[in-house]
Amino acid sequence: MNDEGTSAGGTWLELSVECDQEAVEAVSEILSRAASGGVSVEQPFTTEQEGLAAAPVPGAPATVRAYLPAIDRLAAEAAVTQARERLGHLTAFDLRPIGRLQVREVHEEDWASAWKQHFPVMRLGRRIVIKPTWRDYDPAPEDVVIALDPGMAFGTGLHPTTRLCLVGLEHWSDEGIVAGASAFDVGSGSGVLAVSAALLGAAPVRAVDTDAIAVEATLANAARNEVTVGASQGSLPVDDGPFDLVLANLVAGILVELAAELVASVRPGDGSPGSGGRLLASGIFIDREPEVRRAFAAAGLRVVGREQETDWVVLDLERTGP
Ligand code: SAH
């Protein structure tokens, strides 16, 4: 069966670029324009606590990878040429070192198994444990264990922006605002955030992603964890909002672009602090934080929390007013 090269067993072109942390966002943007299959960022990590936790290696270069279906040769070659040109411009204008664009063909089965070696059981925050479906884990009593198979979708839990969201979600849970709350995951990828919210007691949980592969992965991971996530392909706005809790792990540019619609999807408050719904905005590269803050302030949100890991920032925002 050959379903545009995106079905199981399809052949993909993998584009990868090794670059400094500072260049990750720009390189991700360029590769994501070329690739319909999503972009992932691999930060080198060391495992700690006998493989039960992963810590990023500060200062080590990251690898940005993107996948596009190889079935349409001409389109794929055009996309690669364009990405190479854009990276060339970036190298010309940027002082940060960027590696050469590497292109290789991968078969979906090989891709999936190659990833598995780099995906340990990970504890995030105090209680959240991401357990790849092919690994064993003996949970502690308080643990919230998420069984995950990312497949081709982004959201392995290794990316700092995902980890930051999970930590933010755990803070919300500690505040007592997750159980029984409605939640909305914008750009769900593997569904890691939506499924975690559901496991922490949020209901109903809704998710959208522009990528069909991500929607499939989100539904599969929800089923695997025996929770319900209403996932569909698309973006904002959705007509079943507003929601008590909104999770948006996107890049800064998209957060700014979608700020008004994101805010509209958060339940309004009555003007007093603590009365409104909350938004976790993640995927913010630190030098773009001021821009993102301005966009959300203009759209009526106030910042109630902030976390940072390496150069990535997550903002916890409240829609205090109407
Ligand atoms: N929530 C996951 C994945 C984040 S990656 C995690 O935290 O790990 C961002 C995801 O957003 C990708 O799957 C991408 O396909 C999706 N996306 C990008 N732009 C979007 C948009 N405008 N609307 C909805 N989803 C979008």
Q: How many CB atoms sit inside 10 A of residue 37's CB?
A: 26
Helix (H, G, I), strand (E, B), or coil: what is residue 320? coil
Half-sphere exposure (CA, 13 Å, Cβ side) for 212?
Answer: 5
Q: Is the CB of 192 under 6 A from ligand 1?
A: yes
Residue type at position 137: Y
Q: How many CB atoms lie within 10 A of CB 279?
A: 28
Instruction: Tell how far the Cα of 284 is from the centroid of ligand 1, in angstroms.
Output: 13
Ligand 1 touching residue 211 (CB < 6 A): yes
63, containing H or E segment: strand 62-69
Per-residue pLDDT of 136-175, as tens digits, reads: 888 888 899 999 876 655 545 457 788 899 999 999 999 9
> Quick one: average pLDDT of 213-234?
94
C-alpha–C-alpha distance, residues 264 and 266, integer Å: 5
Q: Computed from CA positions of residues 85, 90, 93, 95, in that sequence, does the dihedral angle turn out positive or negative? A: negative
Supply the pLDDT for residue 146. Answer: 93
Per-residue pLDDT of 29-79, as tens digits, reads 888 888 765 677 776 666 555 444 555 677 778 888 888 888 888 888 999
pLDDT score at 264: 98
CB of 124 closer than 6 angstroms to any ligand 1 atom: no
pLDDT bucket at 238, cuts 50 / 70 / 90 = very high
Distance from C-alpha of 69 to C-alpha of 79, rounded to nearest angstrom: 11
* Rounded CA separation 100/18 (Å): 7
The rounded percent of the chain whose pLDDT value lies above 70 is 83
Which pLDDT belongs to residue 277?
98
End-to-end CA distance of the chain: 51
Decide: 164 and 314 in contact? Cβ < 8 Å. Answer: yes
Using most ligand atoms within 8 A of CB, pick from 164, 188, 309 the residue to mutate for ligand 1. Answer: 188
Q: Strands 245-249 and 312-318, how do they pair?
A: unpaired
**Tokens describing residue 162:** 């995902």
285: β partners: 312
Are 59 and 92 spatial neighbours (Cβ–Cβ below 8 Å)? no
- Ligand 1 pocket, 193 CB below 6 A? yes
Q: Which atom of ligand 1 is nearest to the CA of 208?
A: 24
Q: What distance lies between CA 242 and its chain's CA centroid?
A: 21
**Distance, CA 153 to ligand 1 centroid (Å)?**
9
CA 270 to centroid of ligand 1, rounded, Å:
30
Its sign, for the CA torsion 208, 211, 216, 221, is negative
